[in-house]
Structure 1
Amino acid sequence: MTFIFWLPDEGYTPKRVTLCVRTDKHIKKTVLKKAGKSSVFWAKVKKNTNSRIDYWYETEADGQTTRELDPLNRVIVYANPLVSTIKRVSDGLGSLELIPLLPSESPLIYRRDITIYLPPEYAANPEKRYPVLYMQDGQQLWDSSACAYGGWKMDKVANELIAAGEIEPIIIVGINNSSRRDDELMGWSAYHRADSVKSNAKADPERILQTAVDFESYVIGTVKPLIDCMYRTKPEAEFTGTGGSSSGAMEALYLGFRNSSTFSKIAALSGGEAYYDDLISEYLPTDRSLKIYLDCGDQNLDAQLLTASVRMRDALVATGYTEGADLQWNLVEGAGHNEAAWAARVPEFLKFLHGIPKGN
């Protein structure tokens, strides 16, 4: 097997590149050869291809050693830290791909990683297209000790539900958050802007609002078009959803309510407070083009959010949504406001939004 390392940035060429392949017991390192005067490095490695190959590179320049993912391979494993991987199609598992540091046209929106889950059958069915679910807080969606509060294991859950015939094969896109998370996800809320000024007299409510507007444009105008270009998606609203928890739940509802020509499915976990009241008063849809999963726990912070979650359910029902049809609202008894609680609900909202009716 031949490994090739090349960085497209012509202004930077490492002095030395080492391939690091992880096995069960140790890490095998191989120094790559440089191809003449180019910036391409390569090595032939004897490797058993009957199993997945996890690897990364160590580059040396100016006395510094830097760990690098393979710039020519987007497929990753959420380890601590991330590693590149070569998987077998016959494994019957989905894969994760990484688009690193995707920039925005707005100076208010920081560049960030985008992680894409592809279903197990994706590589074997080159003509087939798939529905897409866009999720906020992308770094928390997968199975890794690198996740600060524990991962949701959405890739593993999706693999299992697809294999069991409980959901259709889907693509899941995780959009990482940034240090401006609250303004990006909730800056559209008058309550959030007023609360920000109350907490910090120097806060600029117009800038906060613009941050939210620009983040909405980033999701719809940058992330989604790129995903539709790079992957075999079903780009129509009928096949496109958005989701998140906590602040991400507010954003999922905001995006869905305002952009029904782009999204038709929403998963909103553990949202509430006056943010939901702002959504109800300013953005509640007048049609019934959406399928909405809504829930809340009853412990710690979720206990404070619960009343507003009920108000959101009631407002949706009043506009014509029907529980059990195009709306599912769950009170999750004993659940708090944390990643483990949300991870436990992944099967529930995936089956509601993307479930295969029994008998099909």
Structure 2
Amino acid sequence: MFSTPSRSASGPLAALVLFLMSTLAHATTVRVHYDVGYGNRITLRGSKAPLSWNTGTPATWTAGNVWTLSWSNTVGDVELKPLVNDSAWSTGANYRIPAGATVDLYPFFGAASGRMQYVSNVYSPQLGNSRTLAVYLPPSYGENPLKRYPVLYAHDGQNLFNASSAFGGVEWRMDETANALIGNGTLDEVIIVGVYNAAANRLYEYTPCCDAQYGGGGADTYERFLIDTVRPYVDQNFRTLTGPRNTALIGSSLGGLVSFYIGRRNPAVFGKLAALSSSFWWNNQALTQQVEAAPTKVAVKVYLDAGTNADGLPETTRMRDALAADGHVQGQDLYYYVAQGAGHNEASWAARLHLPLTYLFPWQGTVY
């Protein structure tokens, strides 16, 4: 049994212990979470020694199917990719590993093709009606059961994935877009929950109180449906990452309005939101006036956009200005985009969907 050397200790053993302690304290470490099956292994190839792009460096298996490799932080930042048996490369972009960091990776090695799962007749005790949830499960969901995922809750779910249920027969192609972005390494894998609207009650459910012409006012109740019914169901039935940094909202038109409204009211639940072509005109721009009068900034990342073709651009620009005055910074916790020539329709939203998706969930942006 060895004793820990004192500060005054000297000799080869003390020097070795101090060297090892120093090395461990200043190491860069990668932990690859993946079950390769019996007899297989994970290697890493990368941009700097001790890694190279020509030959893989074996990682060490540890309990829980975690493959670990460490090196000195003096190497600097490294780009790398995991491989199975040093032959099958992980799907997506290279991983960037900052010097001195410990980084957990959850790769997959198959095609970048997620799958859909539909949950019918989800009852809302808050609203007294039922609807469908369309759940996009990302490519690695079945391949890497060690992985959990951030979640994007999307309104008007029937318009997102399937032309047969979409308004006017035009879908957002959200699953195809997510697959492509994950495959090229610009989007982190994310579970997308498309919450169908209750068609007869859409205007009521998606609006704060109350517009002089249209009424509305059910957004607070719809908020409770999302937070108290939908989200617990998703967290219980799918491998999710919880917490605001891994939970977002997205919608367009009135769906953009309600995304903005609910997200800012619940920053401890939703840490980011995307509001496309939002109906900020609602109730004489009351929501914008609230932001303008707010005494403190709400800590939520916000994506805002509008097209130039009768798409509410002046109202969206005013909201952008209100957020900027509140302390939001373009390119950091605010992304404002003007879609030249775009109108207020599903095709326009589908065409620029890659922007909010990659802003909300950029490659290697997930917090595990």
TM-score under structure 1 length normalisation: 0.67
- In structure 2, the residue matched to 1:31 is none
The whole-number CA distance in structure 1 between the counterparts of 2:193 and 2:117 is 10
Question: How much has 1:351 moved relative to structure 2?
Answer: 0.9
User: What is the 5 A alignment of 1:280-291?
Assistant: 280-282=288-290, 286-291=296-301
Q: Secondary structure at the match of 1:350?
A: helix
Question: How much has 1:281 moved relative to structure 2?
Answer: 2.9
Counterpart pick for 1:177 among 180, 197, 207: 197
- In structure 1, the residue matched to 2:258 is 251
User: What is the 5 A alignment of 1:293-332?
Assistant: 293-300=303-310, 302=311, 305-332=312-339
**Contact 2:117/2:134 (8 A) holds in 1:** yes
Q: Does 1:350 align with 2:360?
A: no
- In structure 2, the residue matched to 1:9 is none
Per-residue CA deviations over 1:93-121 (Å, capped at 9, x if unaligned) read 10111110100113x44210011000000
The whole-number CA distance in structure 2 between the counterparts of 1:141 and 1:171 is 13
**Contact 1:109/1:214 (8 A) holds in 2:** no
Q: Does 1:225 align with 2:229?
A: no
Structure 1 unaligned regions, length at least 5: 1-88, 198-207
User: What is the 5 A alignment of 1:83-98?
Assistant: 92-98=112-118
Larger Cα Rg: Structure 1 or Structure 2?
2
The whole-number CA distance in structure 1 between the counterparts of 2:283 and 2:153 is 21
**Contact 2:267/2:298 (8 A) holds in 1:** no
The whole-number CA distance in structure 2 between the counterparts of 1:155 and 1:289 is 29
Q: Does 1:165 align with 2:185?
A: yes
Q: 1:332 to 1:92 in 2, by over 3 A?
A: closer
Question: How much has 1:259 moved relative to structure 2?
Answer: 0.4
Aligned-residue RMSD, C-alpha:
1.9
The whole-number CA distance in structure 2 between the counterparts of 1:310 and 1:216 is 25
Q: Does 1:138 align with 2:161?
A: no
Question: How much has 1:306 moved relative to structure 2?
Answer: 1.3
Count of residues in Structure 1 that have an aligned counterpart in Structure 2: 252
Q: 1:324 to 1:101 in 2, by over 3 A?
A: same
Counterpart pick for 2:134 among 107, 112, 115: 115
**Contact 1:250/1:276 (8 A) holds in 2:** no
Question: How much has 1:91 moved relative to structure 2?
Answer: 5.2
User: What is the 5 A alignment of 1:64-79?
Assistant: none
Q: Which moved more, 1:126-135 or 1:268-277?
A: 268-277
Q: 1:183 to 1:94 in 2, by over 3 A?
A: same
Q: 1:213 to 1:247 in 2, by over 3 A?
A: same
Identity %: 38
- In structure 1, the residue matched to 2:54 is none
Question: How much has 1:231 moved relative to structure 2?
Answer: 0.4
**Contact 1:132/1:171 (8 A) holds in 2:** yes
**Contact 1:135/1:242 (8 A) holds in 2:** yes
Question: How much has 1:212 moved relative to structure 2?
Answer: 2.5
Q: Does 1:196 align with 2:204?
A: no
Q: 1:253 to 1:340 in 2, by over 3 A?
A: same
Q: Secondary structure at the match of 2:167?
A: coil
The whole-number CA distance in structure 1 between the counterparts of 2:320 and 2:115 is 35
**What code does the residue aligned with 1:299 have?**
N
The whole-number CA distance in structure 1 between the counterparts of 2:362 and 2:281 is 30
- In structure 1, the residue matched to 2:46 is none
- In structure 1, the residue matched to 2:13 is none
Structure 2 unaligned regions, length at least 5: 1-108
**What code does the residue aligned with 1:132 have?**
V
Q: 1:168 to 1:91 in 2, by over 3 A?
A: closer
**Contact 1:137/1:176 (8 A) holds in 2:** yes
TM-score under structure 2 length normalisation: 0.65
**What code does the residue aligned with 1:222 have?**
T
- In structure 2, the residue matched to 1:29 is none
Q: Secondary structure at the match of 1:233?
A: coil
The whole-number CA distance in structure 1 between the counterparts of 2:251 and 2:135 is 15
**Contact 1:254/1:283 (8 A) holds in 2:** no
**Contact 2:264/2:298 (8 A) holds in 1:** no
The whole-number CA distance in structure 2 between the counterparts of 1:99 and 1:332 is 34
Q: Does 1:337 align with 2:344?
A: yes
